[in-house]
Amino acid sequence: MSQFLRTLKDRLPAPLRWQLRRARHFGAARYCTVCGSHVRGFVPAGNIRRENVECPVCGSRERHRLGWLFLERRTNLHDGRPKRLLHIAPEFSLERRFRRIAGLDYLSADLENPAMVKMDITRIQYPDASFDAIYCSHVLEHIPDDRAALREFYRVLKPGGWAALLVPVLGAHTVEDVIEDDAERLRRYLGVDHVRAYGLDMVERMRAAGFWAEAVQARDLVSPAQMTTFGFLDEPVFYGVKPITPT
């Protein structure tokens, strides 16, 4: 394809670009839970390059597809009742879906990248009980004081509100060794700008902040065959609810 045609395609509205990509990549092997596309396969991606990762239509990766399915199946996000959602470090494909949900007052936030507001999640500038829900994926592993961020999430949620959090999980227990070498940090933490490798004990960090919390594994949401079709890894979504009555 010529550079002119590539530039022309990039300037098309997102819905039209997605329709063209759906036609180009159509197939029955894989299904994207974010954009609803049936495709021949997902494409390679990742800091440590992996096969069968990214949707060629909307750009979603495993964590985005899992997160969206979790929101659909395990939360009240789509019940049509008015609610306010805080979306941290917004992914384009998910932001587009959030904005289309009936009754949802949507707010995206990021410290450095484009979003509706600039926000340091360890010092959120909104009052107590400002939000009904928080979605935050693959952010906390970058935050030195993630416990402060969890306390802030808890504070700004309304009683009965919930947070769906995704982080890279590499074992049972979180490791926070200080690593100066970028290559070693990439190897052990999966990112040169990651400050820890989370374990399933992330649940305990959420509980320490006040949440009722659980880890919901991908395999708890779908069948083994769907794990392959949706391109999921066997990873968890950490789900926390702010109790209506403080514990």
Which amino acid, residue 155?
R
The torsion of the CA quartet 144, 148, 149, 150, rounded to 10 degrees, works out to 120
| Angle CA 95–214–185, to nearest 5 | 70
Rounded-to-integer distance, Cα 107 and Cα 175, Å: 32
Residues 6 or more apart in contact with residue 199 via CB below 8 angstroms: 169, 170, 171, 172, 173, 174, 175
Which amino acid, residue 217?
Q
pLDDT tens series, the chain, 247 aa: 555 445 545 667 777 887 898 989 899 999 999 999 999 999 999 877 889 999 999 999 999 999 999 999 999 999 999 999 999 999 999 999 999 999 999 999 999 999 999 999 999 999 999 999 999 999 999 999 999 999 999 999 999 999 999 999 999 999 999 888 989 988 889 889 999 999 999 999 999 999 999 999 999 999 999 999 999 999 999 999 999 976 5
Asked whether 86 and 117 are in contact (CB, 8 A), the reply is no
Domain 61-241 class in CATH: alpha beta
Rounded-to-integer distance, Cα 210 and Cα 102, Å: 30
Which residue ranges make up each domain of the chain?
A: 61-241
